[in-house]
């Protein structure tokens, strides 16, 4: 299958990092438009891993690493969640010795290895003219690296944390917010029945959008986010007051997985790190719950208040995409293909102020995207500000 050049061109597409609803609709949009324009589309499997592990020999079965995409295939998967191309957190520029593909072990034997040269050779072997990575800032940062090495890259932003720089919207965010609201509303019946605090831990390593938007929509009384180290005594005081005001005697707080107490750092499940240097977060919700229970008598006339604690985790990233995560990926896929048809590359397709556009790809590595806490977060009340909505974009907080 190597070096296919008889068609107008070949486009490679991959999905990296965490799965989110909306990836398959994006793959579908790119594929259908590309096929109708005379391009062939190759789906690269398991993110950057498949592109790293290809054996450049036409007699070798590489079906675990890539597949030819057809209209029939993407139509069947386009309405579903997850990614049928599968995904990984592989970073080809940082491959540990034990993870080197078997056919390359004689060539790369250092404790940590850069396989970028192999990636570029594999792209050439497949005859790929343009590469479309779909991912968050980690996946796309390697896309920036490849672009600087001469690969023609057009990128699509994806992450339910909604923290890829340069765009107001990343695929997966709306479904995450929708599910968070739904699940909070389901769990509040138990919190009310038992007159407890309801503490929900949500995604958000460095940016608090997934806690801020559901809280703003009324799903929670308070939220604590990575951008602001909070005082647990103040949070307890506010939640006791919220509970007292509620005729059902309960209240709700959303806790970003990257939230931090004053004077502390992030809470990790363990210190094992992925290829991009990130340790797995998790557990801050349990710690907040324990502290709330311990401190509650101080603000509740000496009486302890129990907590219901739930880590929403993968429940908000599984299943089918909502309406926005069906429409935006379709548009992003078409935008990416339009750039390729115009022979433009080195771009990131984006939504800015409610309109589709594209920006230079290196924005991914040049800035960071956070909640503007001075503008959006009431640090005294530990909740979003509810003001100045006129002329704001759909999801209000854009990292401005």
Which positions are annotated as active-site residues? 161
Residues 162 and 209: beta-carbon distance below 8 Å: yes
**What does the alpha-carbon distance between residue 378 and residue 384 come to, in Å, rounded to a whole number?**
6
**Of 285, 316, 267, which Cα lies nearest the Cα of 19?**
316
Helix/strand/coil percentages in the chain, nearest 5 = 35, 20, 45
**What does the alpha-carbon distance between residue 67 and residue 44 come to, in Å, rounded to a whole number?**
7
**What does the alpha-carbon distance between residue 25 and residue 325 come to, in Å, rounded to a whole number?**
8
Q: Which two tokens stand for residue 340?
A: 């390729």
Which helix (H) or strand (E) segment is 377 a member of? Answer: strand 377-378
If you search the block for the tokens 């509620």, which residue do you land on? 246
**What does the alpha-carbon distance between residue 336 and residue 309 come to, in Å, rounded to a whole number?**
41
DSSP code of residue 158: B
Q: What is the DSSP string of 52-103?
A: HH----TTS--TTTEEE--HHHHHHHTTSSS-TT------TTSEEGGGS-GG
Backbone angles phi, psi at 82, to 5 degrees: 65, -160
Q: Which two tokens stand for residue 264?
A: 């502390």
Distances in whole angstroms, Cα of residue 371 to Cα of each of 225, 263, 307, 357: 9, 20, 28, 22
- Residue positions counted in the chain: 400
Backbone angles phi, psi at 42, to 5 degrees: -110, 125
Calculate helix-pair angle for 23-36, 324-341, nearest 10 degrees. 40
Q: Which two tokens stand for residue 8?
A: 């107008």
């Amino acid at each position: 299958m190597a070096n296919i050049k008889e068609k107008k061109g070949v486009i490679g597409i991959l999905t990296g990092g965490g799965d989110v609803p909306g990836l398959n609709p994006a793959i579908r949009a790119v594929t259908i438009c590309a096929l109708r324009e005379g391009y062939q589309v190759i789906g690269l499997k398991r993110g950057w891993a498949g592109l790293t592990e290809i054996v450049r020999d036409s007699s070798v079965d590489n079906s675990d690493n890539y597949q030819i995409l057809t209209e029939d295939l993407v139509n069947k998967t386009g309405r579903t969640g997850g990614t049928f191309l599968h995904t990984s957190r592989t970073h080809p520029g940082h491959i540990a010795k034990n993870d080197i593909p078997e056919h390359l072990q004689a060539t790369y034997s250092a404790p940590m290895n850069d396989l970028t040269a192999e990636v570029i050779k594999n792209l050439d072997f497949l005859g790929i003219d343009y590469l479309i990575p779909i991912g968050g800032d980690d996946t796309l940062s390697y896309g920036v690296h490849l672009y600087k090495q001469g690969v023609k890259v057009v990128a699509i932003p994806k992450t339910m944390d909604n923290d890829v720089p340069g765009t107001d919207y990343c695929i997966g965010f709306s479904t995450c917010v929708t599910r968070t609201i739904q699940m909070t509303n389901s769990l509040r019946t138990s919190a009310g029945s038992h007159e407890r605090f309801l503490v929900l831990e949500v995604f958000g390593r460095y940016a608090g959008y997934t806690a801020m938007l559901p809280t703003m929509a009324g799903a929670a009384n308070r939220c604590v986010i990575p951008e602001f180290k909070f005082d647990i005594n103040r949070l307890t005081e506010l939640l006791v007051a919220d509970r007292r005001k509620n005729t059902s005697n309960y209240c709700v707080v959303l806790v970003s997985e990257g939230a931090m107490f004053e004077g502390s750092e992030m809470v990790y499940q363990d210190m094992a790190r992925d290829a991009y240097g990130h340790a797995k977060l998790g557990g801050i919700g349990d710690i907040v719950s324990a502290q709330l229970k311990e401190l509650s008598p101080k603000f509740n006339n000496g009486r302890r208040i129990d907590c219901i604690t739930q880590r929403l985790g993968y429940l908000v990233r599984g299943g089918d995409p909502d309406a926005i995560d069906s429409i935006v990926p379709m548009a992003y896929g078409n935008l990416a293909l339009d750039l390729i048809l115009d022979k433009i590359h080195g771009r990131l397709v984006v939504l800015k102020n409610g309109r589709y556009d594209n920006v230079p790809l290196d924005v991914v590595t040049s800035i960071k995207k956070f909640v503007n806490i001075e503008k959006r977060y009431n640090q005294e009340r530990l909740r979003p500000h509810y003001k100045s909505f006129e002329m704001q974009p759909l999801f209000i907080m854009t990292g401005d």
